[in-house]
Amino acid sequence: MTETGSRPIRRAMVLAAGLGQRMRPITDSLPKPLVRIGGKAMLDHALDRLAEAGVDEAIVNVHYLAGQIEDHVAGRERPRVKISDERSLLLETGGGVKKALPLLGGEPFFHVNSDSLWSENGHSNIVAIAEGWEPARMDMLLLLAEREGSIGFDGAGDFFRDQAGRLTRRGQAANAPYVYAGVAIIKPGLFADTPDGPFSLNLLFDRCIAAGTLFGAVLRGQWLHVGTPEAIAPAEAAFAAAQALHA
């Protein structure tokens, strides 16, 4: 079990409800979390890494082609999977968590995009972010990728990070050095004063920035942004190179 500044993090929210529109035509008949990279569904990459970090239970939300995802995780034991059903309404990155809070409990939890992928350099980044979690001064801790050197990403970046690890937005700057890599540790109390229905996790990012409680840990390895079918081959190559290096 991964030890943190307070208690082990036993639960995770894994987002698997999205439409995957940019990944069409593959996602016309297959949900994006089940697209295979490096011989494994992207959802399994996320769940396996959570299991390695000692997570006992993962709440997986479903909406698009939900039955395929439910069948895929049925019977999984590490971590155990519970489904948060969003078939009736897609609730986005924040609203989906709010709906699942009764399943997540009252302790800080991992929040993981099921299509968040990276090659590792021999050290678990999920374990590393848990080891960096300091609940006395943090309300949310994000896993960040360096914008330069990431595979398949051509955006301007999301955040600046100071020496203490505290984050601010790119704002009007032409670019920022760090990109949100799709993994966070979050205190559930942050959702107490949030809208009902769909909303983005960006709402909580901004609230935590205003309070000085949004922090970032930098990924060790290479982030793989797999947003389109054309991004699959470069991601496969990066996985193969990392495996060869650490074999």
Say which residue the tokens 């920022």 belong to: 176
**151 pLDDT tier (thresholds 50, 70, 90):** confident
Residue 5 lies in a domain: no
Residue 6 lies in a domain: no
Q: From its phi and psi, is residue 40 left (phi > 0), alpha (psi between -120 and 50) or beta?
A: beta
Tell me the one-letter amino acid at 22: R
Residue 108 lies in a domain: yes
**In this model, does residue 148 exceed pLDDT 90?**
no
What are the tens digits of pLDDT across the range 22-47? 889 988 899 999 999 888 899 999 99
CATH number of the domain within which 152 lies: 3.90.550.10
State the DSSP code for 194: -
Question: What distance in Å separates the CA atoms of residue 73 and residue 57, rounded to the nearest whole number?
Answer: 12
Please say whether the beta carbons of 109 and 13 come within 8 A: yes
Number of folded domains that form the chain: 1
Residue 2 lies in a domain: no
Residue 198 lies in a domain: yes
Query: What is the extent of the structural domain holding 90?
Result: 11-245
pLDDT confidence of residue 246 = 56
Question: What distance in Å separates the CA atoms of residue 12 and residue 122, rounded to the nearest whole number?
Answer: 22
Please say whether the beta carbons of 73 and 60 come within 8 A: yes
Residue 80 lies in a domain: yes
Structure pTM? 0.92
State the DSSP code for 113: E
Which residue would you say has higher pLDDT here, 14 or 116?
A: 14
